[in-house]
Amino acid sequence: MSKFGEIVGLNIPVLIDFYTEWNEASVKMHPVLRDVASAVGDKAKVIKIDVDKNTQLAEALRVKGLPTLMIYKNGEMMWRKSGEQNAESIIALLEQYA
């Protein structure tokens, strides 16, 4: 949990993807998030968190649907949405919070 606090405390937008390998929608998001990461470069961070390996964190953040995406900046949640998203809208959001 303390490492999570360090990650989301950055002064650049941090996109967090809560996923599992057995969830089809989560798996479909992998290439989308790779595209997002390459598009934003060092202006934002993209972090993937496996819910099965981080159950306490997922419960603390009330992650129910998968995938669940969140954008944090300076420790504050700026945006959150569950379900598949497209790269263009995620990139636009990250640029908005940059």
Q: How many domains does the chain have?
A: 1
Sign of the dihedral through C-alpha 69, 27, 5, 93 = negative
The alpha carbon of residue 47 and the mean position of all alpha carbons in its chain are separated, in whole angstroms, by: 6
Radius of gyration of the chain (CA): 12
pLDDT in tens, 68-88: 999 999 999 999 999 999 999
Q: Range of 77's domain? A: 3-97
pTM of the model as a whole: 0.95
Q: What is the pLDDT of residue 24?
A: 97
Closest CA to 74 of 15, 9, 16: 9
CA–CA distance, 12 with 86 (Å, rounded to integer): 21
Domain of 74, CATH number, reads 3.40.30.10
